RNA sequence: GAGGGUGUAGCUCAGCCGGUAGAGCAACGGCCUUUUAAGCCGUGGGUCCAGGGUUCGAUUCCCUGCACCCUCACCA
């Protein structure tokens, strides 16, 4: 944090001098509380019709523009509702107030009190009578300049460098209003989802993030160490196995919205920590979950956008239920012309080769099918679509299909070629589960680091009797990407994971 | 992990067939009492990502490293 100060010492020093001047005038440049009567947006919507007495207001915010001219000056104050212009005139305030006004910089946080009027150019403005400095800014903000012309917003010198924006999100939020909008929507999406689930009577719970054994998904975990217990702990990769234990315990509908951690690659769809919602409902199955997903996402979309058809990229997404439904093998057949259900390893290998698919880990039927599916089917699943009935090998926690062999009762929802949720009729047969875990153990022995580990406690819980249930997981970050038209997961995570900055000049100095 | 791209003033960028760099905005000084990407005049500001090499001389060419971006692979 200190390391780059010398690079802009000069800019900082001039601000420090202004700060000292303020102090010598008896002004504390770092105020305590400030009473506001209005936010910026409230003032802009005041009734300023003729004949009315000019309303008195107080407001506070950060100075985002500053135009001083001799004996008067204008500035814009930004708070979380928007911007309001303020005006100070030498002969309308006392000398000290005007002197303080002259010491202000872009980025300073101040509170003002005064009357509201409209300027000749028609902008609603506070004519200030008093001014309180709440925080002097010492570093220059990369403030964006914008001009409205023919209803088009022209932006000059936008703070656009993605790296700086992600590393200093607080600056990004201040100067790029669209960014704040994305995170407001994110918050709305999550609260809308909670409201929906709460409305159904499900219980929100919290299960361990630090786990002695991880499970519930295929992934490499993060590992940590507890000193007092002197044991290895893992950061969870999924909530699943703990939530299902709670259904064994007698809760009939539980969900959790929280972070999972996976020690894997990073790209525009993956951040090492990400937010999941998982829901388990006793006595239900995957058909129930499919209906719930359609209904819940429509409800969220309506809450956030007021519409079920929303723009995405050059296209749009239509969340109107019901979604298209198609089985896994039907989907492959539709997009490759090949019926691969029941094919053995060699046949599948040939089929993959025919489609030019070459992946690293194609040891099993499941892995090959998965490769074909990702490459040939997923990119076509643009509008909301459910893919149902997955091969059993790639779904070790899902119940075998009640009528079809070789597949499980599982579906994934796809939107814009991206998986948005994953759900099953959960496996509640402890003997079948043990067998599936053992198959995973074999894969692990063959070098698959992401295969599941056997969880004896979980198997034990199942042996007490686990009701049948429907289970669902929704990746919140990806849902937010869709609902905010964002191209990268980093655009919907406030502080995405970044490599630390290395500053060689700093390490020499300190 | 592979390939490509980018890294120059606080911000956005230009430039350099190799001779230690420029614009706009921001900053500082002056003029300006309803302005609005304010204006006009003037001034200052850069280990040109880091380290090494070639060279009389490197920000520019070469190598290595670092960070970020894009594509692919891996991964939900």
The nucleotide minimizing the C1' distance to residue A175's CA is B11
Give the distance, in angstroms, between residue A1 CA and nucleotide B76 C1'.
35
pLDDT, residue A146, reads 77
Cα A450 from chain centroid (whole Å): 25
Choose among A133, A410, A416, A156: nearest CA to A269. A416
The protein footprint on chain B, as nucleotides within 7 A of a CB, is 1, 9-13, 24-28, 31-39, 44-47, 50-51, 66-76
pLDDT, residue A358, reads 63
Report ipTM (2 d.p.). Answer: 0.87
Kindly tell me if the per-residue pLDDT of A35 is higher than 60.
yes
The residue that minimises its CA distance to C1' of B66 is A502
Q: Is the CB of A8 under 7 A from strand B?
A: yes
In this predicted model, what pLDDT tens digit does every residue of A111-146 receive, in sequence order? 999 999 999 989 999 999 999 999 999 988 888 777
Q: Which of the four pLDDT bands, split at 50, 70 and 90, describes residue A361?
A: low
Q: Which of the four pLDDT bands, split at 50, 70 and 90, describes residue A362?
A: low
Residues A322 and A294 sit within 8 Å (Cβ to Cβ): yes
Give the distance, in angstroms, between residue A157 CA and nucleotide B14 C1'.
14
Least confident of A188-197, A322-331, A343-352, A355-364: A355-364
In this predicted model, what pLDDT tens digit does every residue of A432-477 receive, in sequence order? 999 999 999 988 888 788 889 999 999 999 999 999 999 999 999 9
The nucleotide minimizing the C1' distance to residue A238's CA is B76
Output the CA–CA distances (angstroms, integers) from residue A62 to A85, A491, A501, in the order listed.
11, 24, 28
The torsion defined by the Cα of A187, A199, A421 and A325, in degrees rounded to 10, comes to: -130
Q: Is the CB of A488 under 7 A from strand B?
A: yes
Residues 414-453 of A with CB under 7 A from strand B: 419, 422, 450
Q: Which two tokens stand for residue A215?
A: 């499970």
The nucleotide minimizing the C1' distance to residue A117's CA is B34
Choose among A200, A199, A203: nearest CA to A251. A203
Give the distance, in angstroms, between residue A509 CA and nucleotide B66 C1'.
19
Secondary structure letter of residue A373 according to DSSP: I
Strand runs labelled E in A91-168: 109-118, 124-135, 145-149, 152-156
Residues 212-251 of A with CB under 7 A from strand B: 217-219
Give the dihedral sign, CA A456/A460/A463/A469.
negative
Kindly tell me if the per-residue pLDDT of A507 is higher than 60.
no
Give the distance, in angstroms, between residue A51 CA and nucleotide B4 C1'.
66
pLDDT, residue A286, reads 96
Secondary structure letter of residue A103 according to DSSP: T
Residues A398 and A361 sit within 8 Å (Cβ to Cβ): no
Residues 364-403 of A with CB under 7 A from strand B: 371, 374-375, 378
The C-alpha atoms of residue A304 and residue A311 are separated, in whole angstroms, by: 13
Q: What's the Rg (C-alpha) of chain A?
A: 29
Give the distance, in angstroms, between residue A166 CA and nucleotide B12 C1'.
18
Kindly tell me if the per-residue pLDDT of A371 is higher than 60.
yes
Give the distance, in angstroms, between residue A350 CA and nucleotide B49 C1'.
49
What pTM was estimated for this model as a whole? Answer: 0.91
Kindly tell me if the per-residue pLDDT of A3 is higher than 50.
no
Q: In this structure, how many other beta carbons lie within 10 angstroms of the beta carbon of residue A117?
A: 14
DSSP 3-state assignment of A262? coil
Give the distance, in angstroms, between residue A168 CA and nucleotide B48 C1'.
24
């Amino acid at each position: 944090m200190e390391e780059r100060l010398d690079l802009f010492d000069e800019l900082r020093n001039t601000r420090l001098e202004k700060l000292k001047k303020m102090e010598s005038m008896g002004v504390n440049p770092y105020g305590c509380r400030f009473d506001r009567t209005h936010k910026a947006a409230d003032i802009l919507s005041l009734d300023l019709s003729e004949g009315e007495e000019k309303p008195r207001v107080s407001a506070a915010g950060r100075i985002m523009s500053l135009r001083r001219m001799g004996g008067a000056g204008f500035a814009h104050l930004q708070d979380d509702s928007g911007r309001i212009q303020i005006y100070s005139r030498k002969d309308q305030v006392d000398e000290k107030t005007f002197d303080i006004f002259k010491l202000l910089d872009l980025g300073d946080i101040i509170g003002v009190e005064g009357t509201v009027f409209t300027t000749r150019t028609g902008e609603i403005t506070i004519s200030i009578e008093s001014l309180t400095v709440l925080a002097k800014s010492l570093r220059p903000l990369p403030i964006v300049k914008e001009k409205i012309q023919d209803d088009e917003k022209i932006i000059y010198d936008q703070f656009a460098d993605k790296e700086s924006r992600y590393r200093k999100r607080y600056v990004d939020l201040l100067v790029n209003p669209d960014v704040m909008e994305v995170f407001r929507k994110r918050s709305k999406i999550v609260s809308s989802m909670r409201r929906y689930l709460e409305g159904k009577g499900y219980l929100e719970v919290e299960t361990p993030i630090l786990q002695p054994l991880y499970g519930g998904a295929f992934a490499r975990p993060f590992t940590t160490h507890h000193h007092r217990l002197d044991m290895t702990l893992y950061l969870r990769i999924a909530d699943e196995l703990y939530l299902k234990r709670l259904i064994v315990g007698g809760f009939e509908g539980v969900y959790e919205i929280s972070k999972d951690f996976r020690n894997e690659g990073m790209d525009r769809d993956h951040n090492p920590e990400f937010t999941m919602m998982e829901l388990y409902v006793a006595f239900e199955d995957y058909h129930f979950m499919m209906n719930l997903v359609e209904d819940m996402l429509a409800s969220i979309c309506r809450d956030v956008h007021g519409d079920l058809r929303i723009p995405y990229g050059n296209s749009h997404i239509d969340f109107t239920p019901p979604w298209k439904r198609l089985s896994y093998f039907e989907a492959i057949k539709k997009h490759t012309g090949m019926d691969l259900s029941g094919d053995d390893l060699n046949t599948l290998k040939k089929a993959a080769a025919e489609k030019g698919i070459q992946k690293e880990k194609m040891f099993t039927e499941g892995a090959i099918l998965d490769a074909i599916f990702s490459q040939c089917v997923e990119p076509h699943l643009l509008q909301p679509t459910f893919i149902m009935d997955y091969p059993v090998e790639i779904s070790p926690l899902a119940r075998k299909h009640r009528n079809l062999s070789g597949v499980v009762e599982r579906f994934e929802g796809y939107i814009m070629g991206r998986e948005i949720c994953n759900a099953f009729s959960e496996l509640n047969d402890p003997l079948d589960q043990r067998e599936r875990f053992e198959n995973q153990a074999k894969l692990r022995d063959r070098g698959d680091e992401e295969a599941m580990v056997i969880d004896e406690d979980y198997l034990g819980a199942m042996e007490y009797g686990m009701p049948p249930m429907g289970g669902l997981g929704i990746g919140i970050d990806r849902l937010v990407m869709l609902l905010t038209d964002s191209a990268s997961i980093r655009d919907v995570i406030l502080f995405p994971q970044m490599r630390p900055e290395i500053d060689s000049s700093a390490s020499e100095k300190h």
